[in-house]
């Protein structure tokens, strides 16, 4: 009789062994090095840029599909829905807890975009115009303010735009001593 024993390649970690950092922690360390200044300024401009871009994507005309009309759901699906789904999925892969905070933030921003649609309907400024101005102010402010950083590069600026929102939430979580 032959017996086969499965080899277990997993080793137990000793007390001195440290797990390799997650990719999100590496991004956060890079951003911490590049942007050591007042994070409140980054939060302001990043929020304006994120809200503006989300509003612009939201306002791109979505095709009127027959099955959506039959279900009376054509107003609930737009390009912003896909944008939100992609953003949350990517953040979920990096840091699940922080992605929930971003989902909450995006929910609040969505509420204000819908409010802007009502203002436009009642004769106010176009949502696309308002969001374009907010995105431009946010991006220009980030660009100007990020150039003051000692180690700021184009790669760091891109990371600030893409990972920056959850990076800022990580600072809040750190203050509240919540693991992410």
Residue 61 or residue 168, greater confidence: 168
Tens of pLDDT, residue by residue over 116-165, are: 999 999 999 999 999 999 999 999 999 888 877 666 678 888 888 899 99
Residue of 51 and 29 predicted with greater confidence: 51
Place of tokens 């005309």: 61
Per-residue CA distances from 80 to 56, 95, 153 (Å): 8, 22, 29
Full-model pTM? 0.81
CA nearest 28: which of 40, 16, 17, 39?
39
Whole-angstrom Cα distance, residue 48 to residue 59?
Answer: 16
The enclosing H or E element of 65 equals none
Query: Taking the CA of residue 22 as centre, how many other CA atoms within 13 Å lie in the half-sphere pointing to its CB?
Result: 8
Q: How confident is the model at residue 71 (pLDDT cuts 50, 70, 90)?
A: confident
Q: Which residue has the tokens 């994070």?
A: 39
pLDDT at residue 2, rounded to an integer: 44
Angle at alpha carbon of residue 151, lines to 165 and 171, rounded to 5°: 30
Digit-coded pLDDT (tens) for 80-124: 999 999 999 999 999 999 999 999 999 999 999 999 999 999 999
Q: How far is Cα 138 from Cα 132, in angstroms, rounded to an integer?
A: 10
Quote the distance between the C-alpha of residue 114 and its chain's center: 19
Radius of gyration of the chain (CA): 21
**What is the per-residue pLDDT for 74?**
67
Q: What is the DSSP string of 83-110?
A: HHHHHHHHHHHH-HHHHHHHHHHHHHHH
Quick one: pLDDT at residue 1? 43
- Number of alpha helices (DSSP H) and beta strands (DSSP E) in the chain: 7, 0
């Amino acid at each position: 009789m032959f017996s086969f024993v499965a080899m277990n390649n997993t080793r137990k970690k000793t007390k001195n062994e440290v797990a390799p950092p997650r990719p999100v922690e590496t991004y956060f360390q890079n951003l911490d090095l590049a942007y050591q200044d007042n994070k409140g300024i980054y939060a302001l401009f990043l929020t304006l840029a994120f809200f503006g871009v989300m509003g612009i994507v939201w306002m791109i005309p979505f095709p009127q599909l027959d099955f959506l009309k039959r279900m009376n759901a054509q107003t609930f699906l737009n390009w912003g829905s896909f944008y939100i789904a992609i953003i949350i999925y990517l953040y979920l892969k990096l840091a699940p807890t922080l992605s929930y905070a971003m989902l909450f933030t995006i929910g609040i921003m969505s509420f204000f975009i819908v409010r802007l649609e009502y203002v436009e309907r009642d004769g106010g400024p176009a949502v696309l115009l308002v969001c374009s101005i907010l995105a431009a102010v946010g991006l220009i402010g980030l660009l100007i303010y990020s150039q003051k950083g000692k180690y700021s590069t184009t790669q760091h600026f891109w990371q600030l735009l893409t990972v920056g929102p959850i990076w800022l939430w990580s600072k809040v979580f750190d203050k509240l001593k919540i693991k992410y």
